[in-house]
Structure 1
């Protein structure tokens, strides 16, 4: 059984790291952009206080469709759009590999707010990586009022569907491509 888990981990790592990161067609990019606009509206609809976060943050990255699954070994992936001072500046890829007690699959949205240019530049230089101690706030009415920046970033998520025992953002890595 341990051999199977090691093989599964290696396969997931290869899939998440070898897949073309930005090989989408123009129509796929346009769909991701449209989905990010819809996700932003849904974040604000779920918690009206988030409008101020979108307006006042230095920048943000929206991942409108993140898929996550696993059984002992898991992975997550999603594509998103990056904004600097409310202007679209690029596309991003999220990937995650995890090991531990987990089972199932889920789909969710994720938004990362950047408090400063320095924090956004770390992301744009693909130097932002979430460790196991980073947590995300699940969006519901008023939840963003308690969210705080940690090392210049704040992460909020919104469940779309599925059932999974485990929902951390630890281990996430990002790649950025300017427009």
Structure 2
């Protein structure tokens, strides 16, 4: 019996993954960045960042204090992911310092596992220290877990953020259309400056 992968299964998995990304692009309610001229892409990303931060502040009011105190806030309004044995994710976002966008970024990640599905989620990374922000901005490509640890926020029953999380150099939030996602790992996600 051969240990080689079944060609039909591989084609099916590839087709499913491609269709999932197309459906996500067409149907997501967290927003997408359509292709177009760079200026319209920037405007669309910025509008998505505004909407994502408004959703975060409404879902977790204490996050408003974090973003106000932050050295920088990196927001990916729509990170699209799909998987069928082999999966991946991709999204565009913006880094804000002092409430103003100073640069645009792309995030990507891959995964291997026996899971099938597709989803869109928003990711917010809050740089609480000057050192953490400077290390991020000076990198040619920044990988969560390798270049820095991101403390994904733990939200209590009362809607408050775990006090230990609030003391970390980089705090992360992950949101689906239903709200804040708990127990999500961002390990291995790579972030690069976006080229238009």
Once the two structures are superposed, the pairs formed by residues 13-28 of structure 1 within 5 Å of their partners are 25-28=38-41
**Aligned residue in 2 for 1:153:** 170
Q: Secondary structure at the match of 1:157?
A: strand
TM-score, scaled to structure 1: 0.75
CA distance in 1, matches of 2:55, 2:162: 17
Once the two structures are superposed, the pairs formed by residues 27-176 of structure 1 within 5 Å of their partners are 27-124=40-137, 125-131=139-145, 136-137=152-153, 142-146=159-163, 148=165, 152-160=169-177, 167-176=184-193
Structure 2, gaps ≥5 residues long: 19-34
* Range 124-133 or range 93-102, more displaced: 124-133
- Aligned CA RMSD, in angstroms, stands at 3.3
Larger Rg: 2
Q: Secondary structure at the match of 1:31?
A: helix
1:93-120 deviation digits (Å, cap 9, x = unpaired):
1111111232211111110011222211
Q: Secondary structure at the match of 2:61?
A: coil
Q: Secondary structure at the match of 1:148?
A: helix
Contact 1:135 1:169 in 2 (8 A): no
Structure 1, gaps ≥5 residues long: 13-21
* Range 86-95 or range 166-175, more displaced: 166-175
Q: Secondary structure at the match of 2:161?
A: helix
Shift of 1:176: 2.1
TM-score, scaled to structure 2: 0.69
Contact 2:151 2:170 in 1 (8 A): no
* Range 52-61 or range 82-91, more displaced: 82-91
Shift of 1:159: 0.7
Count of residue pairs brought into register by the alignment: 162
1:60-86 deviation digits (Å, cap 9, x = unpaired):
101011111101111011000101233
Q: 1:151 to 1:42 in 2, by over 3 A?
A: closer
Q: Determine which structure has the larger strand proportion and give its number.
A: 1
